[in-house]
Amino acid sequence: MDVVPEPESLQLKIVYYQPCIPPNTGNAIRIAANTGAELHLIEPLGFTMTDQQVRRAGLDYHEMANVTVHPNLEAAWALLQPTRVFAFTAHADTFFTEVQYQPGDVLLFGPEPTGLPDEVLDDPHVTGKLRIPMLAGRRSMNLANATSVALYEAWRQQGFVGAV
């Protein structure tokens, strides 16, 4: 039997700022495990990581995902030391597809249902604000779905490194 080597890391980081809905974070754990991206959660969380809904949505992927919980955004920046941080907001003018993603990029998403607050959008670490297009009159996408859309575009641009 051939041994399959561990795939290269995607080297992208997903950051959820104060997520509120357990199944969305569970789904993000699954997305991170399936792509090799890191998932960073900024407290306070609207649930505990042992919450049944988080566990159920993440299925058996929790052990395969690289997930870190930070007490605040400053602690996350200190660990990540990001060069580029893209904040996703429905109020941006630049589409997420207009960026040439690079290894180490941070994809920053806000809590449901409010999105990122102004103090986070104006954080000096944020190098760009991006939007995912939607039809007029719609407020936002589901957090886990928005993460998938953005992360898979970044991974596609990198040639789906490590994918089978």
Any known ligand binding at 46?
no
- The upper half-sphere exposure of residue 64, i.e. CA atoms within 13 Å in the direction of its Cβ, equals 16
DSSP 8-state secondary structure symbol assigned to residue 6: P
Any known ligand binding at 110?
yes
Any known ligand binding at 140?
yes
Strand ranges (DSSP E) for 30-72? 38-42, 66-70
Q: Of 114, 88, 110, which Cα lies nearest the Cα of 99?
A: 88
Give the whole-angstrom CA distance, residue 60 versus residue 14.
20
DSSP 8-state secondary structure symbol assigned to residue 155: H
Strand ranges (DSSP E) for the chain? 13-17, 38-42, 66-70, 85-88, 94-95, 106-109, 128-131
In sequence order, which residues have a C-beta less than 8 Å from that of residue 79 and are 6 or more positions away? 40, 68, 70
Residues belonging to the binding site for S-adenosyl-L-methionine are: 110, 132, 140
Residue ranges of the binding site: 110, 132, 140
